[in-house]
Amino acid sequence: MSMRKTLLAAVSALGLLASPWALADKTYTLRLAETWGPNSGLLGDAPRNMASMAEEMSNGRLKIRIDSSNKHKAPFGIFDMVRNGQYDMGHTASYYYKGTIPNAMYFTTVPFGMIAPEMYAWFYHDDGMELMQKVYEPFGLLSFPGGNTSNQMGGWFRKEINSLEDMKGLKMRIPGFAGEVMSEVGVAVTSLPPGELYTALERNTIDAVEWVGPALDLQMGFHQIAKYYYSGWQEPNAEVQFLINKKAWDKLPADLQAILRVSMRTAAYDMYIQSTHESGVAWEKMKQEYPDVTHKVFPPEVVHALRETTNRLLDEFAEKDELAREIITSQREYLEQVRPWTNISDKAYLNSVAND
């Protein structure tokens, strides 16, 4: 070692190198656990895209090893495993942890909330990142946007919905906060493991199922047995998440932190664009192979009831918890500012060409 140290000192004295760690050429390997299984399409592509950018940009000094759920066996335990240092990083969705931290939910999506570009604008140009950090800091974690599924569909229905009355008693698989809202308007919300959904829908054990959107619904095959594909209300965007253990982060030199931060940011945007692409491809394929498949929008009275219920529940959350109030208010105020712009730009344009 003394030979090595002497050389390092000599080289350093000659000003040939920018910083000691560059000389040491230290390689950092971070272990990442993802919620998803090994073949999960765009959800699994996001952390791999991130890892490959980080490795290439760092010339191999930063490596990220990814374990899928078949390896770690805890798809919804990512938060805990990264928190306790079993893994350095995670790729998951914030709203899976609302049992432990109720305020985690708002950083994935909120019914009747923002679409993807609006949500990114809230994160990066309004209070989004700061509020998310406020929620995760007490657990020794950093959280970053991890990819957007884009606007999610309202689900596959075997029967057409013509009124609010048609929703009463409807047996539907729809999890999370959206399920709570549906339940409030009279839907019989059921929870079934993903592997049983197709058969349940086929045998009329359930009448409807909400999954994601064409890109991820295609392989589930619901379009083969349910004719009506409804536009969504419950996840107008859904941003998944990179979690990082703060201690693991602090050990990285500044340039590798920058490389990691930019790789995550780019992989998140990239997933949004990949979802846009694959949704287009999959929706075309569904319609070609099953020409009976029909796009529908919920009747105005259904939309109205779901929206009123959503707002009532959000008001209740805001009343009970100070930080919840801060987040909900920030998102509502931001939406009020950005949506008029979305309406006079993309919405007006898409309508004008669709009607021509």
Residues 74-133 contacting a copy of itself, CB under 8 A: 112, 115-118, 120-121, 124-126
Closest CA to 350 of 59, 103, 216, 151: 151
Q: Measure CA of the first residue to CA of the last residue in the chain; give whole Å.
A: 76
* 68-76, 181-189, 197-205, 251-259 -> range binding a copy of itself (CB under 8 A): 251-259
In the complex, the smallest distance separating the C-beta of residue 244 from a copy of itself, rounded to whole angstroms, is 17
Nearer to a copy of itself, 70 or 344 (CB): 344
Contacting residue, 37, 40, 58, 66, with a copy of itself by CB under 8 A: 58
In the complex, the smallest distance separating the C-beta of residue 313 from a copy of itself, rounded to whole angstroms, is 17
The pair phi, psi for residue 186, each rounded to 5°, is 105, -5
Cβ density class 250-289: b for 16+ within 10 Å, e for less: eebbebbeebbbebbbebbebbbebbbebbeebbeebbee
**Window 200 to 239, contacts with a copy of itself (CB under 8 A):** 213-214, 229, 231-233, 236
Q: Is 353 exposed, middle or buried (0-12, 13-18, 19+ CB in 10 A)?
A: exposed
Nearer to a copy of itself, 87 or 298 (CB): 298
Non-local (6+) Cβ contacts of 189 within 8 A are 172, 173, 174, 179, 180, 182, 183
C-beta neighbour count of 15 within 10 angstroms: 7
In the complex, the smallest distance separating the C-beta of residue 3 from a copy of itself, rounded to whole angstroms, is 8
Say whether residue 340 binds a copy of itself (CB under 8 A): yes
Closest CA to 99 of 165, 177, 25: 177
Say whether residue 199 binds a copy of itself (CB under 8 A): no
Say whether residue 153 binds a copy of itself (CB under 8 A): yes
Contacting residue, 151, 190, 245, 331, with a copy of itself by CB under 8 A: 151
- CA dist., res. 334 & res. 49, Å (int): 30
**Window 163 to 182, contacts with a copy of itself (CB under 8 A):** none
In the complex, the smallest distance separating the C-beta of residue 102 from a copy of itself, rounded to whole angstroms, is 25
Nearer to a copy of itself, 153 or 178 (CB): 153
- CA dist., res. 229 & res. 210, Å (int): 10
- CA dist., res. 148 & res. 109, Å (int): 10
In the complex, the smallest distance separating the C-beta of residue 187 from a copy of itself, rounded to whole angstroms, is 18
- CA dist., res. 305 & res. 32, Å (int): 41
Nearer to a copy of itself, 87 or 157 (CB): 157
* 67-75, 82-90, 169-177, 256-264 -> range binding a copy of itself (CB under 8 A): 256-264
**Window 300 to 319, contacts with a copy of itself (CB under 8 A):** 300, 303-304, 307
In the complex, the smallest distance separating the C-beta of residue 74 from a copy of itself, rounded to whole angstroms, is 31
